[in-house]
Amino acid sequence: AAFGIPPLVIGLTVVAFGTSSPELAVGVQSALTGNPDIALGNVIGSNIFNILVIVGLSAVIVPLVVHQKLVRLDVPLVIGLSVLVLILGLDGRIGRVEGALLFLGLAAFIVFQIRQGRRESEEVQQEYAQEYGDGRTKSAGQWALNVVLLVAGLAMLIIGSNWLVDSASGIARSLGVSELIIGLTIVAAGTSAPELATSIMAAVRGERDIAVGNAVGSNVFNILGVLGLTAVLAPEGIGVPRSAL
């Protein structure tokens, strides 16, 4: 915000992607520790959780009459990306090259979001400005505090993702179920907590576009960013069992 990036763009990129940072941390940790099944289950489970629980609860709080044109563009995009992942996984693996292509797609999506955001209506611009402020950090002290909070948050995210992956693997082994199932359930619900909090608060305040946009943007990031980067980092890519298909 201090660099003058409009609140709308912040909401559609930084906030939507920021709430997916636990999924990204878990995905990277899973790839580095040889547990890519957790990452795959996490992405699939989180996307299902975002639509059924987060959008569902937001709609219970306030009817989601969404006027944001970009959301109407994003929903078909999420459906298309989900079909693409299904196609990529038909051979039983999402390899490094496929992961790199997904990750490049994320860069293209961010550029598209920023360009489209500048064309949004004044009503939508004001909605995001009310949610995220006019964006100017006033003092050096505020700068320093934000940097400290950012570094501390990243450090806790890395530590927490390490604990989560290790614990999820242990639970899967003790229950005799696959790591994919644990990723689809316990890990997915846990890493989706930020999206849940953000969307519910936006719904309570009547910010309907933000409540939906956060969930949809997070789904896009999970597929392109989390799944893509995990496939690149995993030595043999991500195995896709038939049950996941």
Average pLDDT value over all residues in the chain: 84
Cα–Cα distance between 120 and 66 in angstroms, integer? 14
The pTM score is 0.81
Cα–Cα distance between 158 and 171 in angstroms, integer? 20
Look at residue 11 and tell me whether its pLDDT is greater than 80. no
Reported confidence tier of residue 69, pLDDT bands at 50, 70, 90: low
DSSP H helices, the chain, are 7-9, 16-18, 21-32, 36-49, 56-61, 69-88, 96-117, 122-132, 140-175, 179-182, 188-191, 193-204, 208-221, 228-233
In tens, the pLDDT along 118-172 reads 776 677 777 777 766 665 656 778 888 988 998 898 888 888 887 887 888 888 8
In tens, the pLDDT along 180-230 reads 888 888 888 888 888 888 888 888 887 777 777 788 888 999 999 999 999
